[in-house]
């Protein structure tokens, strides 16, 4: 099991890492990614979250690491950021995935079949957001998941539907949550972003 998990994580990381990393400054992170998106990872996340129309980050995280860990993490985030901001983070995350899919579909993008599940999917997501120094950057992951241009459009939509503060908190709390996920997976090399 461990070797299968490690192999799947390595393949997923190789798929989304490296090529396309630009040194341009992101809105909430140190760099952006302008390469091709890792659509299989994206499709796997959407599938784990209940599909495009019903996507739920809580459902996706539960499918990846189990309900007990998700409940503990949401409780930790609630204490760290406040329950209201944490609940808004979940709401904005769900909106961001649905909005990304809407924009991608309108642009003619078709997702392949998602083939990653459980901890292999969680590891692929963590690895997809790693800067060269192993700091997790949610902006990098989102760029790799749907393209930088779609990510920027979604941020603008979040600003309009919610607020710029909610958008910033979505990125901030996502950085913390994904760092925590990496630690739970035993990926100790991952560093916490200063924007958390």
What is the C-alpha separation between 9 and 51, in angstroms, rounded? Answer: 22
3-state secondary structure of 192: coil
Which secondary-structure segment (H or E) carries 133?
A: none
User: Does pLDDT of 107 surpass 60?
Assistant: yes
> pLDDT class for 140, splitting at 50, 70, 90?
very high
pLDDT at residue 19 in the model: 44
What is the C-alpha separation between 118 and 190, in angstroms, rounded? Answer: 19
Helices (H), 82-163: 83-106, 118-128, 138-146, 148-161
Residues pairing with 154 in the sheet: none
User: Does pLDDT of 66 surpass 70?
Assistant: yes
pLDDT at residue 25 in the model: 74
Kindly report the number of other CB atoms within 10 A of residue 150's CB atom. Answer: 21
Q: Which tokens is 159 given?
A: 């600003």
Q: Are 165 and 177 in contact (CB under 8 A)?
A: no
Kindly report the number of other CB atoms within 10 A of residue 15's CB atom. Answer: 17
3-class SS letters over 88-103: HHHHHHHHHHHHHHHH
> pLDDT class for 12, splitting at 50, 70, 90?
very low
Q: Which of 4-13, 58-67, 158-167 has the lowest mean pLDDT?
A: 4-13
In this prediction, residues 121-139 reach a mean pLDDT of 96
Q: What percent of the chain has pLDDT over 90?
A: 84
What is the C-alpha separation between 137 and 106, in angstroms, rounded? Answer: 27
3-state secondary structure of 33: strand
User: Does pLDDT of 24 surpass 80?
Assistant: no
3-state secondary structure of 139: helix
75-90: per-residue pLDDT in tens? Answer: 999 999 999 999 999 9
Q: Which tokens is 113 given?
A: 């079949």
Q: Which of 20-24, 39-43, 98-102 has the lowest mean pLDDT?
A: 20-24
Query: Higher pLDDT residue, 69 or 13?
Result: 69
Is-above-0.75 flag for pTM?
A: yes
In this prediction, residues 136-156 reach a mean pLDDT of 96
């Amino acid at each position: 099991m461990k070797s299968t998990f490690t192999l799947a994580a390595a393949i997923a990381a190789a798929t989304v890492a490296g090529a396309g990393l630009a040194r341009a400054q992101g809105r909430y992170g140190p760099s952006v990614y302008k390469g091709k998106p890792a659509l299989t990872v994206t499709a796997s996340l959407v599938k784990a979250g209940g599909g495009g129309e019903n996507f739920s980050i809580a459902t996706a995280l539960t499918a990846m690491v189990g309900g007990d860990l998700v409940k503990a993490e949401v409780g930790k985030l609630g204490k760290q950021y406040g329950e209201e901001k944490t609940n808004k983070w979940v709401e904005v995350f769900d909106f961001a995935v649905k909005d990304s899919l809407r924009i991608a579909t309108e642009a003619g993008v078709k997702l392949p079949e998602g083939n990653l599940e459980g901890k292999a999917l969680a590891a692929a997501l963590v690895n997809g957001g790693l800067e060269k120094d192993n700091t997790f950057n949610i902006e990098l992951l989102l760029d790799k998941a749907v393209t930088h241009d779609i990510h920027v459009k979604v941020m603008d939509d979040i600003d309009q539907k919610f607020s710029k503060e909610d958008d910033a908190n979505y990125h901030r709390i996502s950085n913390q949550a994904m760092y925590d996920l990496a630690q739970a997976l035993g990926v100790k090399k991952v560093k916490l972003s200063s924007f958390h």
